[in-house]
């Protein structure tokens, strides 16, 4: 009987330990933070629920907490308290405004190399397939995490369809650069350098406007975040064929590409949804082989301050 009671007590203790919840709160308002990213730094992670709670992975020794508009936080699991507080990144912006200092903006883009002028690296790429998501790495070269990301900048373009026969014909798809598409930001796996977790819960739909040559998406104060030391990914994806046809387009736009050096960090990765539903965690990221082989990248970038 004593043995049975001991076993039951152990099972109850183990179940409680496994289900113990930690609470994530805004440091200023003390309100729960919903859908914050909890990265276990071992290839897995979770999100806070509607009450700001989350449970630990038993194999995690450290975690990284990130949320749009807040400073990221790295913690050892053996030092975790029941309640964790996250500070807003916008506190930095408030200090700058109060002091009257002029904000210094910096644009981060890939640099052209000599191979930019090779035929295969000149101009634009084909439209991104609806079963693919592309992600372009933007490095934080000086590791300064005090800067905030304020804008995402892209160059959608028209493209050509090539008809092969006795004589190749190029049919320019005019107006396709104005087709809408989707963007997001992803954190970086510091071990193998691939995208890990998207930072906006839902992709942001954007569209180049008439008369413009580049698309600038300005992040709201709630969306702005500190530029991570390990860098960040900008993702691009498109809608399905039926959606585009319904609004008068053939497909999504193409995007400006440039040739880069072998050493450039602005590399492109892709995720295929050919065998998985969009958003399925089993869909893996891989190098965009054609772009790596040709040493080119999409000409996209960030503005930080």
Q: Give the SS3 label for residue 99.
A: helix
| Cα–Cα distance for residue pair 46/33, rounded to 1 Å | 13
The average confidence (pLDDT) of the chain is 83
Q: Is the pLDDT of residue 278 over 80?
A: no
Token readout for 220 is 């709201």
Q: Is the pLDDT of residue 94 over 90?
A: no
* Phi-psi region at 123: left, alpha or beta (left = phi > 0; alpha = psi -120 to 50): left
Over range 95-104, report the average pLDDT.
Answer: 57
The CATH code belonging to domain 19-88 is 2.60.40.1120
For the purposes of burial, counting CB atoms within 10 Å of the CB of 165, is it exposed (0-12), middle (13-18) or buried (19 or more)? exposed
pLDDT band at residue 291 under the 50/70/90 scheme = very high
**Which of 227, 221, 232 lies closest to 305 in space, CA to CA?**
227
Beta bridge partners of 134: 236, 270
Residues 54, 21 contacting (CB under 8 angstroms) = yes
Token readout for 16 is 């409680």
Q: Is the pLDDT of residue 7 over 60?
A: no
**Which of 185, 180, 207, 210 lies closest to 195 in space, CA to CA?**
185
Distances 49 to 35, 60, 297 between C-alpha atoms, Å: 6, 19, 37
Beta bridge partners of 290: none
Per residue in 164-206, pLDDT tens? 556 555 566 788 999 999 999 999 998 899 999 999 989 999 9
**What DSSP state is assigned to residue 4?**
H
Q: Is the pLDDT of residue 96 over 60?
A: no
More confident residue, 237 or 121: 237
Q: What is the pLDDT of residue 13?
A: 44
Q: Is the pLDDT of residue 213 over 80?
A: yes
Q: Is the pLDDT of residue 281 over 80?
A: no
| Cα–Cα distance for residue pair 21/53, rounded to 1 Å | 6
Cα 65 off chain centre by? 15
Per residue in 156-168, pLDDT tens? 999 876 555 565 5
Q: What percent of the chain has pLDDT over 70?
A: 82
- The domain limits of the chain are 19-88, 106-304
Residues 216, 153 contacting (CB under 8 angstroms) = yes
> Whole-model pTM above 0.75?
no
Q: Of 49-53, 98-102, 119-123, 199-203, give the lowest mean pLDDT range.
A: 98-102
| Cα–Cα distance for residue pair 108/152, rounded to 1 Å | 10
Helices (H), the chain: 2-19, 90-99, 241-246, 289-294
Over range 31-55, report the average pLDDT.
Answer: 84
| Cα–Cα distance for residue pair 120/170, rounded to 1 Å | 16
């Amino acid at each position: 009987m004593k043995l049975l009671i001991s076993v039951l007590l152990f099972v109850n203790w183990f179940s409680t330990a496994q289900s113990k919840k930690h609470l994530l709160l805004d440091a200023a308002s003390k309100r729960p933070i919903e859908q914050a990213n909890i990265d276990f730094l071992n290839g897995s992670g979770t999100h806070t629920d509607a009450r700001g709670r989350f449970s630990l992975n038993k194999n995690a020794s450290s975690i990284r907490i990130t949320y749009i508009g807040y400073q990221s936080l790295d913690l050892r699991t053996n030092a975790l308290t029941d309640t964790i507080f996250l500070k807003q990144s916008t506190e930095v912006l408030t200090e700058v405004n109060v002091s009257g200092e002029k904000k210094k903006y910096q644009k981060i883009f890939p640099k052209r190399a000599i191979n930019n002028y090779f035929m295969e690296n000149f101009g634009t790429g084909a439209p991104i397939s609806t079963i693919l998501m592309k992600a372009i790495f933007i490095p934080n070269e000086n590791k300064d995490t005090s800067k905030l990301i304020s804008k995402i900048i892209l160059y959608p373009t028209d493209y050509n369809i090539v008809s092969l026969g006795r004589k190749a014909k190029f049919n320019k798809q005019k107006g396709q650069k104005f087709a809408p598409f989707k963007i997001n930001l992803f954190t970086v796996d510091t071990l193998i350098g691939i995208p890990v977790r998207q930072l906006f819960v839902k992709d942001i739909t954007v569209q180049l406007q008439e008369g413009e040559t580049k698309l600038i998406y300005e992040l709201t104060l709630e969306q702005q975040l500190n530029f991570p030391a390990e860098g960040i990914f900008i993702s691009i994806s498109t809608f399905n064929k039926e959606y585009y046809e319904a609004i008068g387009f053939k497909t999504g736009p193409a995007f400006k590409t440039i040739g880069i050096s072998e050493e450039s960090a602005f590399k492109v990765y892709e995720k295929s949804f050919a065998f998985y539903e969009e958003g399925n965690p089993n869909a893996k990221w891989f190098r965009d082989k054609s772009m790596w082989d040709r040493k080119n990248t999409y000409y996209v970038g960030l503005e930080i301050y």
